[in-house]
Structure 1
Amino acid sequence: MMNFTQRLSGYLYPFIFLSSPTTTPTNPDSFPTSQYYRTDTKDLCLVISIIAVYAILRDVLRLGVFEPFARWKLFRDLTRKQHAGKSNGNASVSSSGNGHSSTRITLVKAERRKMRHSVLRFAEQGWSVVYYTLQWGFGLYVHRNLPTKLLDPVDSWIGYPHVALAAPVKIYYLTQLAFYLHQMLILNAEARRNDHVQMMTHHVITVFLMWASYYYNLTRIGCLVMLLMDLCDIFLPLAKMLRYLNLPKIYPDFTFGTFMVTWFVTRHVLFPVAIKSVIFDLPRLVPFDWDPERGYYSTKGSHAMFYCCLLALEAIQMVWFAMIVRVAWRVVTGQGATDVRSDEEGDDDNDSDDENDKEE
């Protein structure tokens, strides 16, 4: 029985804890007091567990926090509105059998459908705000402890290969990889949007780059890119949440403007700087050598693969930015930050709802 328990715990260990601990490098340039690890195929076991945790957390927050709050807030607003307009027939008064009068708010079908849609969308975006806020904060912590710079990522290549990973770096990578795999599952499980192909292409490329940079020991530039990508993804779902709550237009519009600025700076200014470093600094500072035993996975082919994938991501993001500018034009012209991307099976009253609902 004891042997069975030990064997079982051995099988479960990689699903719960980081695998492949290793000795701390001599004079490490980052996280000097952290435990260090190597990459391992067993890391996929922990990724599977993290995906399961994400699925549970998403539903707990969606069903236990965000949906009840949105339902309470929207129903309260609708009740107040209908009480104020009782004279036009939107509310009716009925008497109970004991002689007490009670007000029964009658929700017309369109209002009920719109409120249900807003509640569901609010809850979906709430999970994104929570995740991206926490993950960006964690990514900033990792970045501040690595010798990399946003405007000059050349330090990402110095000392290659970075075989030993500090625990925070490994956790950061695996949690990000698990999140995008989880997003791919959600993307295919829910109603398809008009840009489904773009989203799937983006997620597939992103997951591939995460996996390749992780196992090819290029994690420092990977951490930098992930930090850049996450910041603006806080503000887009937040802007949508404010709009779903029917708050004054100034709040979602201002948040959307913040999203637009952070998107442009991080994805069309700083991200191209990182791509430029991959194209020009990597071959200059990292020798092309395929020697897995020493941790070298740099060849002309792998180099071209990485920068082509990064350029493909930038191309997709430029298409999305054009859509963002179109929404911004609506704000400038007083129409508000209303999206035009829709579910293929969406409700009639919401056909102009979600152009930029990207979980990227």
Structure 2
Amino acid sequence: MLAPKLDVVTIFVLLMETYLVSYQWRFTFYLCIFCYGIRFLWSSPWLWDTRQCWHSYPYQPLTSGLYYYYIMELAFYWSLMFSQFTDIKRKDFLIMFVHHLATIGLITFSYINNMVRVGTLIMCLHDASDFLLEAAKLANYAKYQRLCDTLFVIFSAVFVVTRLGIYPFWILNTTLFESWEMIGPYPSWWFFNGLLLILQVLHVIWSYLIVRIAFKALIRGKVTYPGRIRPRLCTLHSFLTSFLFSVPGGSWTVSSLA
């Protein structure tokens, strides 16, 4: 019996379904790991008092919860790096490859130096907005325009608050000042904080790109009617499509703004 022939439309549908599945599993992981992180940190003393991150450092016990948290995050980013070679090739392939390598390096470095307490705070903080972006991508593919717009607005707000508010005034405060006061500087202290400061610079750049995109969408979201100008509700769908799907995994490029 001959196998049925696959026409162009069928192949396209299969490719799109495969592509959509990749966003589904990323959304599922980001959501699950964020919930796990919140549940784990809720009972951890260093969530409420960041000075606990440096008590008895570096002789801090590695609990099973900490171990599994780190292993899951590290395994996920390793999988993202390798899946790039089988995913749809994008213009930002090299940038994302370097991004995944840097993330793996940071997680590994903090684990080796037993900076796992503050490491869990950093990972959970960054996971807070990633699942929202993946959800917006899924809503766009499902053609739920209003849901896509709403999710992107929520994602933008969470991203700016966590990366420009909580991260510098909570994370950097403890890694730069509280750690200096309690344990003093040491060689890896300079390297670790240098990487975190570079990360903050990236946060500023990414936040600027998000705000710029949202502002342009607001400007273009005005429809001129005969005899009057009536602004309509902001529709981010058409303007943000290239942004949402240009870079998987929550990173952005300037080319997506063109």
TM-score, structure 2 as length reference: 0.78
Cα drift, residue 134 of structure 1: 0.8
Residue in 2 that maps onto 1:314: 200
- The correspondence for 1:339, drawn from 222, 241, 244, is 241
CA distance in 2, matches of 1:287, 1:318: 28
Letter in 1 for 2:79: H
Residue in 2 that maps onto 1:80: none
**Are 2:189 and 1:303 equivalent residues in the alignment?**
yes
CA contact (8 A) 2:136 2:147 kept: yes
Residue in 1 that maps onto 2:153: 257
CA distance in 2, matches of 1:354, 1:327: 14
- The correspondence for 1:191, drawn from 68, 81, 88, is 88
CA distance in 1, matches of 2:87, 2:179: 40
Q: Secondary structure at the match of 2:73?
A: helix
Distance 1:271 1:304, change over 3 A: same
Distance 1:340 1:189, change over 3 A: same
CA distance in 1, matches of 2:94, 2:201: 14
Task: Please give the residue correspondences for 1:272-283 in structure 2 after superposition, counting only pairs within 5 Å.
Answer: 272-273=168-169, 274-283=171-180
- Structure having the higher helix fraction is 2
CA contact (8 A) 2:92 2:247 kept: no
Distance 1:134 1:323, change over 3 A: same
Residue in 2 that maps onto 1:181: 78
CA distance in 2, matches of 1:317, 1:175: 24
Cα drift, residue 315 of structure 1: 2.4
Structure 2 alignment gaps of length 5 or more: 1-6, 222-234, 252-258
CA distance in 1, matches of 2:92, 2:202: 11
**Are 2:27 and 1:125 equivalent residues in the alignment?**
no
**Are 2:65 and 1:163 equivalent residues in the alignment?**
no
Q: Secondary structure at the match of 2:47?
A: coil
Distance 1:130 1:207, change over 3 A: same
Cα drift, residue 116 of structure 1: 5.3
RMSD (Å) for aligned C-alpha atoms: 2.5
- The correspondence for 2:105, drawn from 194, 208, 212, is 208
Q: How many residues align?
A: 228
Task: Please give the residue correspondences for 1:77-156 in structure 2 after superposition, counting only pairs within 5 Å.
Answer: 118-149=16-47, 153-156=50-53
Letter in 1 for 2:139: L
Letter in 2 for 1:138: Y
Letter in 2 for 1:171: Y
CA distance in 2, matches of 1:149, 1:259: 23
Cα drift, residue 252 of structure 1: 0.3
For residues 200-257 of structure 1, the C-alpha deviation after alignment (integer angstroms, 9 at most, x for no partner) is 232222211211111211110000000101110111010110110112x211000111
Structure number with greater Rg is 1
CA distance in 2, matches of 1:162, 1:355: 43
Cα drift, residue 131 of structure 1: 0.3
Q: Secondary structure at the match of 1:141?
A: helix
CA distance in 1, matches of 2:172, 2:102: 15
Cα drift, residue 153 of structure 1: 2.4
For residues 16-52 of structure 1, the C-alpha deviation after alignment (integer angstroms, 9 at most, x for no partner) is xxxxxxxxxxxxxxxxxxxxxxxxxxxxxxxxxxxxx
- The correspondence for 1:354, drawn from 226, 245, 257, is 245
CA contact (8 A) 2:133 2:250 kept: no
Structure 1 alignment gaps of length 5 or more: 1-107, 289-298, 342-352
CA contact (8 A) 2:107 2:119 kept: yes
Letter in 1 for 2:208: A
Cα drift, residue 276 of structure 1: 2.8
